[in-house]
Amino acid sequence: MKILKYEGFVAAPFTPMDERYEVNYGIIPEYYHFLEKNGVIGAFINGSTGEGPSLTHREKQLQAEAWSVCLKNRGRVRIINLVGGTSYGECVENAVMSNELGLSAIAVVAPYYYKPASADDLADFVVRIGESVPGMPVYFYHIPSLTGVSIPMATFIAKISRILPNFAGIKYTNEDLMDFMQCLDFEGGKYDLLWGRDENILSALVLGCKGAVGSTYNYAAPLYIKLVEAFNRGDIDMARKLQRLSVDMIELLGKYGGMGTGKAFMRYVGLDCGKFRIPVRNLTDEMYTEFVRDVNSLDIEDLFSVK
């Protein structure tokens, strides 16, 4: 299978919720075109930012269906669906459904309850899912900070490359640049390595990375597009400046409680996705007012995505 790599930014969309914390599927077409308008090339749905672990099996399927309709309607934003990671049986169901819906690819995260002890065990788990959709690209989502599975990806990629013909690459959400570079260079750069830490994308670009998946690409895609443009023309000072602005923006996530602040950013740019389900902390109205003052003080209005 020829791997069609992602060269650019893939947003990890938030799952839109209504005031009762039910999934608001109706806003997804608007969300899709919002990403498309702002230069995003892909959407990684049902992941960490998308509250995948907090959604029911049926909700994840319905969300995948809603995004697939946008893709089929001459959409330019490709869709990667995270099909799960604790039950390979459930993952297989979601993988087959993703294929039937015509999605672009699937992703699998490491089992985070009964954890694999080795690269062989992890590869065997991913293969069980990937072989159910032999014509579909399969990505592995490496995020040890949430799964607790810290197997070196260089070892994993060497194993799975021999046993899963439709393996496409890794969404790499970790800070181990040495391991990332080994994966990036494996077999002459055969696989698609997507960087998953928005706050240090510049470091990954230096190693040869061409694509990335992240939450802040939802609401600040122009910032990162300008960063890559500066890097490509050799203006490293400007690239560093833009990376620092990214860091300043991301620091607000921690200041206001973490992941829930991402939806506050979406509200700020005009696409209200509601709030996160518990136990993720959401901003109160008072906190949001203070948050807006902090965002305005960054003075990066022209670097946010526009509706």
Cis, peptide link before residue 279, omega less than 30° from 0: yes
Predicted TM-score (pTM) of the model is 0.97
Catalytic residue positions? 141, 171
List, in order, residues 6 or more apart from 150 with CB less than 8 Å away. Answer: 144
Question: What pLDDT shows up at residue 80?
Answer: 98
Q: Which domains does the chain have, with CATH numbers?
A: 8-234 (3.20.20.70)
Query: For position 277, what pLDDT does the model report?
Result: 96
Ordered per-residue pLDDT tens for the chain, 307 residues: 889 999 999 999 999 999 999 999 999 999 999 999 999 999 999 999 999 999 999 999 999 999 999 999 999 999 999 998 899 999 999 999 999 999 999 999 999 999 999 999 999 999 999 999 999 999 999 999 999 999 999 999 999 999 999 999 999 999 999 999 999 999 999 999 999 999 999 999 999 999 999 999 999 999 999 999 999 999 999 999 999 999 999 999 999 999 999 999 999 999 999 999 999 999 999 999 999 999 999 999 999 999 9
Count of CB atoms within 10 A of residue 96's CB? Answer: 16
Q: What is the CA radius of gyration of the chain?
A: 18
- Outline where the chain has alpha helix (H): 28-37, 57-72, 88-101, 119-130, 144-147, 153-160, 177-185, 201-207, 221-232, 236-255, 261-268, 285-298
